[in-house]
Amino acid sequence: MRNMENAQPARIGDAAGTLPRKSRLLVTGGAGFIGANFVHHWLEMHPGDRVVVLDALTYAGNLANLEPVKGHPDLKFVQGNICDTPKVERLLREEGIDTIVHFAAESHVDRSIHGPDAFIETNVHGTHSMLKAARKVWLEEKTVPRHRFHHVSTDEVYGSLGPKDPAFHERTAYAPNSPYSASKAASDHLVRAYHHTYGLQVTTSNCSNNYGPFHFPEKLIPLMIVNLLHGRALPIYGDGRNVRDWLHVSDHCRGIDLILRNGRPGEVYNIGGGVESENLELVETLCAVADDAFAALQDLCSRFSGCPAARGDKSSSLIQFVKDRPGHDRRYAIDCGKAERELGYRAQVSLAQGLRNTFDWYVQNEWWWRAVMDGSYQRWVETHYR
């Protein structure tokens, strides 16, 4: 297995003839958590490539996520909805786009339980809108000689695993258990169909649970960090024994990069972190990270005096168990063997280091998470973790 950092794969299209050496990307959802991290990654790793971000700027889309690359000469931001097919078509033509990286999606299971309609609209109809636009401009109008449509999906489409079950692989049968995962499964099937029916050059990646900078604080890790700093309860669903594979967002971005450069059209690649952890164990680790940080840095004690660690107490005292959510999948695990063999992918960030880095990022970027935690966010937390 090659080390991904040391591997020197061809640029897009060099070996497989897929795309030009200098690419022009449309990144949907590029102001969201994973999308913004991908934009940062691509601009750094591929100087000279054009990156156009299309984002509707809903609750999880935030221009502050792109602040570190604001003013970059190769970046353009466009506010718009992926369901607006004519707008997408115009962007593809006007910008000469040859690569779509499709992140835009409603992505939180809890929200899908309380309001599934938005998930069907964005994840199913929105993906179909993107595919229709790509087919018209790329295949019918032939605006670019070569193209690629990359669809970013989730391991949740595979359903739930038992304690001893083997990890999900690319041939695992789909068995989605929430409106969110069902909507993503539908979008995956549409992408596959547009390849086999119309010849659209597509790839799909199914990733495990991401974490890292710019993660909206409704998700487990950032929610725990923000609550911990405030000295608020750390709510854990059920018995806390649900297991997830955790993937640092930087590893995810490297994985997508490898798929775009060397992935075979029509193929699916699983991208995971290779580390399974129970939710309770994960939160306890975060508490230990906080305790160490507060013990080492007196400044934290004055800035976040509500945290138990500021008084020398254990942060884990904040852990509280709450009613489990409906249909809560018990375990996810990702088999990345195909991506390792074909692309040289391997996660580089350990869970222990990734959690420390993520905690430090939230401490250092208090301005960012305070700005997104408005009244609607507070009401959402009260609804789901009452």
Determine, yes or no, domain membership for 137: yes
Determine, yes or no, domain membership for 187: yes
DSSP state of 331: B
The residue assigned the tokens 């190769």 is 74
Contacts of 104 (CB under 8 A, 6+ apart): 28, 29, 32, 35, 54, 55, 56, 82, 122, 126
Determine, yes or no, domain membership for 89: yes
The residue assigned the tokens 């590893």 is 251
Task: Report whether 152 contacts 205 (CB < 8 A).
Answer: yes
Q: How many domains does the chain have?
A: 1
Domain range enclosing 52: 24-212+249-274+331-350
Determine, yes or no, domain membership for 296: no
pTM as predicted: 0.90
Determine, yes or no, domain membership for 324: no
* 23 CB neighbour count, 10 Å cutoff: 25
Helix (H) or strand (E) holding 101: strand 99-102
Determine, yes or no, domain membership for 141: yes
Instruction: Supply the CATH number for residue 346's domain.
Output: 3.40.50.720
Determine, yes or no, domain membership for 376: no
pLDDT in tens, the chain (386 residues): 333 333 333 333 433 435 556 899 999 999 999 999 999 999 999 999 999 999 998 877 889 999 999 999 999 999 999 999 999 999 999 999 999 999 998 865 567 676 788 889 999 999 999 999 999 999 999 999 999 999 999 999 999 999 999 999 999 999 998 889 999 999 999 999 999 999 999 999 999 999 999 998 888 999 999 999 999 999 999 999 999 999 999 999 999 999 999 999 999 999 999 999 999 999 999 999 999 999 999 889 999 999 999 999 999 999 999 998 787 889 999 999 999 999 999 999 999 999 999 999 999 999 999 888 764 545 544 554 45
Active site residues: 155-156, 180
Q: What share of the chain is helix, strand, coil (3-state, %, to 5)?
A: 45, 15, 40
Determine, yes or no, domain membership for 3: no
